[in-house]
Amino acid sequence: MPSAPAVLIYSASAGPELRLAASVAGADGLVGKGAPLGDLFDAIRTVASGGKALPPLRPRAVERLVTRLDSDDLPILGLRLDGVPLPEIASVLHVSEREVSRRVIGMLGRLTAWPGSTRYMDEERAMVWPLAVDRSRVM
């Protein structure tokens, strides 16, 4: 099976919602457009060499964001934060890969949605949803 391409998200906002969503979707890196240029270059080099360049998630932010998720999604969240591929998650949870992908997409929607969702958040969602679906075939 071919390996998945490396994915580095370069976004106007790299807040906790997108950080967590990028991790759940399986992104390899995330850099905010406000970051120094050197940080972007370092992230590109890291991701290109097979590493991860995701900003750390603060425990308090994760605690706040997980309240948006269903309790059945928490095992998937934990496994995704540990970098476990979707097919392996499906095997561990004894469900189909399609079911895991469906649940990941639902998680992404809940993690990136604000009350009265704005176009900006819809653009962030559009950025990470295809990643979760397409990369699930080769992760």
d(CA 76, CA 84): 9
Q: What is the mean pLDDT of each run of 10 residues along the chain (139 residues)?
A: 80 87 92 94 95 92 91 94 92 95 90 58 51 46
Per-residue model confidence (pLDDT) at position 134: 46
Per-residue model confidence (pLDDT) at position 1: 56
**Which CB contacts under 8 angstroms, 24+ apart, belong to 103-109?**
103/72, 103/73, 103/76, 104/24, 104/25, 104/76, 104/80, 104/132, 104/136, 105/129, 105/132, 105/133, 106/70, 106/73, 107/24, 107/69, 107/73, 107/76, 107/77, 108/21, 108/24, 108/25, 108/132
Helices (H) and strands (E) in the chain, counts: 7, 2
Per-residue model confidence (pLDDT) at position 42: 97
pLDDT tens, position by position, 22-50: 999 989 999 999 999 999 999 999 999 99
